[in-house]
A and B are shown apart, each in its own frame.
Chain A
Amino acid sequence: MLFVLIGCSPSGASAHQRPVAEVLAQGSSELAQFTFDHPRSLFSEVIARSAKGSPEWQQATFGLAVCLQNNSPVVAEAITEASRLYSELIATSPESTFAPRATLNLGRIAELVDYFKDPVDLEAARARYSEVMTRWPDQDIASEAALRLASAYAQEDTTEANTKAIATLETWLAQHPKDPLASGMYQWLGDTYYMRAADAKQAVRCYIAADDLGLLWRGREGIVYWRIAQIAERKLKDRDLAVRYYTKLCEKAQTSGKAFEAQLALSRLGAPVPELTAFAAYKGPRPPLIDPPPPHQSQAEVGK
């Protein structure tokens, strides 16, 4: 009797009568709002009600796999099922718009520690990233795969692997200089040259290239400006470059917290010191800029 009542309930009835497209749209919308638990049942329903390989099936299969991969707490069984779904999607609909991301996500599953004691398989991850670069070379996701491939090499942390990591991206960037992720790749290369190859000159070249393309870090540009200026001043002894980026920091990244130190550096280097106009309302004490300006500059120029 209870089952009959439940079966006859309005909600139960409407769930079965809702068009597949509506259920799919709801699942996709919930997933877009960082909800991973509830959409699983919606995507499962679409999979059950759609023809295998149909556009609805592809989207629902991908959606369900994403939910399983990311629903907290992540468990081994869910990751296994997500992998199966991604593989099934790629095998059934290799031309699907979801296939490249599904392939890349298989690489992510191999690379990341998804649950306690989950083994990392960098080689398997690299194979997936290479596959994306080879099969979909003209899609944006190929550049992400290139960055992932380089990172998966760097994580080996051997001289040989670091060299491969750098070569991977340098080659890619030479072929795809205007890639949407190019700026990010240059920034990653800058870090890798500086931290892993101890090559300050190449690091600065890459950071500048990233800046010229437009940094992907919005609101955090000051970190890159500071890095270029500091390496230029301390390692490369390139005064002009240091002045250029300390000045840029004072002008474009006043809220980075490093603007006053950039002012001190400009004073130290004998360069004009821009005012921190964003803080004009501050009327309290201001420490002096220690190093005296060169004779040709007035006090006003150095922002006293």
Chain B
Amino acid sequence: MSDLELGGGNNLDEDEDGKPAVANFTKRLAKPKPPTATPSRGWRRFVGLNAIGVLLLVGSAGWSGLRVLSIHNENNDPNVKTIRISHWQLESGYREAMQSVIDDYNAMHAAEHVRIVQVPVTERIYGQWLNVNLIADNAPDIAELGMARLATTGESVAKYFMPLGREVLKPNPYDAEKYLDDLEERNPDIIKRLTTAPWRETMVDGMRGGYKQDLQDYYSVPMAFFTQRMFYNRDLLREITGTDQPPQSLGQLFALGERIRAWGTEHGRVIDPIAGTRYHRDVFVWNYRVTFTNAYQTELDTDVSGSITPIEAWAGWQSGKISLKDPALRAYFEVVRKICEMFNPNFAAMDRDQAIAAFASGKSAMMATGSWDGQSIFNGCKFSVGVMNFPMPAPGEPYADYGKYSISEASSAGGSGFGITRNTKYPEISLDFLRFISSHKWNQKLNRKNGWLPIAVGTTPAERMVPFMPTPYGVISDAGFGEGYEAETKISGQIDRFFLGEITYEDMRAGVDTLMADPKIGFDHIWFKAFEKERDQSRSLERTIAVQSARQLMGTGDDETSAKLLETILDQAIGNNGNNLRHLYQVQNGKPFPEEQ
């Protein structure tokens, strides 16, 4: 029997003549068989390539069906308590690290039939996905907060996520001494803090990253710290300069950039000193703006809060206390432009991944990004990767008079916070898992495997992440054009053009000065918008006060309610409904505040 008789082949297709293929059976049968072909007998008659294909198809479909059914059964097994935890961290190593911690938890609680399942969702759709599922009452039990509007704004967070205020005051049972076997430094103070202090005190940031000021409560548990550094290709640096020592000062960084370009020309290779995109440029912008504008704090920080608020900066631009004519400002802009000149020429059109790829493939010698990219970079590079702080101008170098200190990371709050959704069927287990994953042992495990900075007290990161540990030896104030609304957008355009080398500093300055003085979008408009924003924030705090006072009167509060109420009342009263801004404007400008336009 031939293959055709087994039903294989496209016997219903049309042939080249347009006739039905069935009609050509006889023609094909008439063809002589190959000399080696022998008729199949017994079970062999059922075996042929087409039959194998069909069997494979049926087998695959069957296996898929069984798999779907088994997953369905697993997820719907009434005896198993399944907790879903969603996040958008698709960086290299994160899911594996999370899974290893989940596996530990599942193993520890197997007898209780608890199963934690992670649901990774790409950041491109995470927000939309979470919003839809929160509204549909189908959200995961635990979700990473952020990206989604409903997981960000105070009112929505309160509506869809559980407050953790009562829980963070209790010690974390997974920080009991029996679990502290990974604690490297057996410091009695650390052991005491981990074993007896409230859960929030077992986090380096006091769980500030999970606190919602407007709701006066904790709604998420942060998992890690994040800082920014420069990465460099040790092998390439050694090849070019004879040493793998990174630049120790800003002057040395610029000199290295020139050397790299020259070396590339000499060797017929295109190597950019720094892999850049707009995103990576802004990493430099942020770090050097603090360095070069922090000194304005003395003049601009009107309320002596220790930082320059956006409107204090605008007041400074308006009064002339800060000006683009100042050598310090010029130094800052020139430094960033020089750094942009060290980028790949088309940096403004590239995206983040392309920059990482350029660095990983050795086309760029350095790049600047956050610790969140550390693992991807370390894993993706075939060469030895070094990490360095942003270099400062050394004494005697250009710009040394205007910038001495780097940014302080001491006040950084933890990130990657996870909260418990209100629709969970298992709030106790969800809470228990958050305690587990934020405890010393497992937070350290998660972040060491993942290449992030752990946040639990007494933890240490993976060896190669040590350079990312937050530094307190820096400053925090900076003055820019933030919260300038339409003017900010247009000023950013001018600054962009300067950084791209399209216009001179004088042209940029003239353009920015014109925009700031524009009566429609300039200073007065910005003052009014700032006032409006403060007034709205004050109104928003009224909701928190309403809830806290209702809790107090209706007996639905807790031990913390009174303290929270008093703190919110102070927060609201201290701003005087935005009228402090009106006062500041009138004192500075000697004229009535610009009213609603």
Q: Which residues of A contact B (CB under 8 A)?
A: 28-29, 31-36, 59, 62-63, 66, 69-70, 72, 97-98, 101, 105, 108, 111-114, 144, 147-148, 151, 154-155, 157, 180-181, 184, 187-188, 191, 194-196, 216-219, 222-223, 226-227, 230-231, 234, 254-261, 276, 278-279, 281-287
- B208 lies within 8 A of A219 (CB): yes
Kindly provide the distance from the CB of A124 to the nearest chain B CB, expressed in whole angstroms. 15
Give the top 7 A-B pairs by smallest Cβ distance, nearest first: A257-B411, A34-B158, A184-B570, A32-B556, A257-B476, A226-B306, A28-B554
Kindly provide the distance from the CB of A264 to the nearest chain B CB, expressed in whole angstroms. 9
- B546 lies within 8 A of A256 (CB): no
- In the bound complex, residues from chain B placing their C-beta under 8 Å from that of A155 are 576-577, 579
- A31 lies within 8 A of B547 (CB): yes
Kindly provide the distance from the CB of A258 to the nearest chain B CB, expressed in whole angstroms. 5
- In the bound complex, residues from chain A placing their C-beta under 8 Å from that of B582 are 157
- A227 lies within 8 A of B553 (CB): no
Query: Could you say which of B306, B539, B576 contacts A222, with CB atoms under 8 Å apart?
Result: B306
Query: Could you say which of B155, B204, B460, B584 contacts A34, with CB atoms under 8 Å apart?
Result: B155
Residue of A nearest to B538 (CB): A112
Residue of B nearest to A32 (CB): B556
B486 close to chain A: CB less than 8 A: no
Residue of B nearest to A224 (CB): B305
- Name 29 A/B residue pairs within 8 A (Cβ), A-sorted: A28-B554, A31-B554, A33-B422, A34-B159, A66-B546, A66-B550, A70-B542, A70-B546, A105-B546, A151-B573, A154-B576, A157-B586, A180-B562, A184-B573, A187-B570, A195-B580, A216-B567, A219-B206, A219-B211, A227-B305, A258-B306, A259-B472, A276-B472, A281-B460, A282-B472, A282-B473, A283-B467, A284-B469, A285-B389
Given contacts A70-B542, A188-B574, contact A226 B305 (CB under 8 A): yes
- In the bound complex, residues from chain B placing their C-beta under 8 Å from that of A108 are 542
- In the bound complex, residues from chain B placing their C-beta under 8 Å from that of A31 are 547, 550, 554, 556
Q: How far is the CA of A34 from the CA of B298 in the complex (A)?
A: 40
Query: Could you say which of B215, B405, B553, B569 contacts A147, with CB atoms under 8 Å apart?
Result: B569
- In the bound complex, residues from chain B placing their C-beta under 8 Å from that of A154 are 576, 579
Kindly provide the distance from the CB of B557 to the nearest chain A CB, expressed in whole angstroms. 7
- In the bound complex, residues from chain A placing their C-beta under 8 Å from that of B466 are 283
Kindly provide the distance from the CB of B241 to the nearest chain A CB, expressed in whole angstroms. 20
- A63 lies within 8 A of B547 (CB): no
Question: Chain A CB within 10 Å — which of B215, B542, B573 has the most?
Answer: B573
Query: Could you say which of A34, A114, A196, A284 contacts B547, with CB atoms under 8 Å apart?
Result: A34
Q: How far is the CA of A191 from the CA of B574 in the complex (A)?
A: 8
Q: With contacts defined as CB atoms under 8 Å apart, how many contacts are there between chain A and chain B in the complex?
A: 194
B302 close to chain A: CB less than 8 A: yes
- B539 lies within 8 A of A113 (CB): yes
- B553 lies within 8 A of A98 (CB): yes
Given contacts A98-B553, A112-B542, A155-B577, contact A260 B472 (CB under 8 A): yes
Residue of B nearest to A98 (CB): B553
- A217 lies within 8 A of B567 (CB): yes
Q: Could you tell me how many residues of chain B have their Cβ less than 8 Å away from some Cβ of chain A?
A: 69
Q: Which residues of B contact A (CB under 8 A)?
A: 154-155, 158-159, 163, 204-206, 208, 211, 215, 298, 302-307, 389, 392, 404-406, 408, 410-411, 422, 460, 466-467, 469-476, 535, 538-539, 542-543, 546-547, 549-551, 553-557, 562-563, 566-567, 569-570, 573-574, 576-577, 579-580, 582-584, 586
- In the bound complex, residues from chain B placing their C-beta under 8 Å from that of A35 are 158-159
Given contacts A184-B569, A261-B475, A279-B410, contact A34 B303 (CB under 8 A): no
- In the bound complex, residues from chain B placing their C-beta under 8 Å from that of A97 are 553
- B554 lies within 8 A of A101 (CB): no
Q: How far is the CA of A219 from the CA of B404 in the complex (A)?
A: 28
Query: Could you say which of A29, A105, A260, A281 contacts B556, with CB atoms under 8 Å apart?
Result: A29
- In the bound complex, residues from chain A placing their C-beta under 8 Å from that of B475 are 260-261
Query: Could you say which of A101, A195, A217 contacts B549, with CB atoms under 8 Å apart?
Result: A101
- B469 lies within 8 A of A32 (CB): no
Q: How far is the CA of A101 from the CA of B548 in the complex (A)?
A: 12
Further contacts, 19 of them, CB under 8 A, given A105-B546, A276-B473: A28-B554, A28-B555, A31-B556, A33-B158, A184-B566, A184-B567, A187-B574, A195-B580, A216-B570, A226-B304, A227-B304, A256-B306, A260-B473, A261-B475, A282-B473, A283-B466, A284-B469, A287-B406, A287-B473
Kindly provide the distance from the CB of A85 to the nearest chain B CB, expressed in whole angstroms. 13
- In the bound complex, residues from chain A placing their C-beta under 8 Å from that of B460 are 281
- B474 lies within 8 A of A260 (CB): yes
Q: How far is the CA of A34 from the CA of B583 in the complex (A)?
A: 33
- B389 lies within 8 A of A63 (CB): no
- In the bound complex, residues from chain B placing their C-beta under 8 Å from that of A254 are 410, 472
Residue of B nearest to A69 (CB): B546
- A148 lies within 8 A of B573 (CB): yes
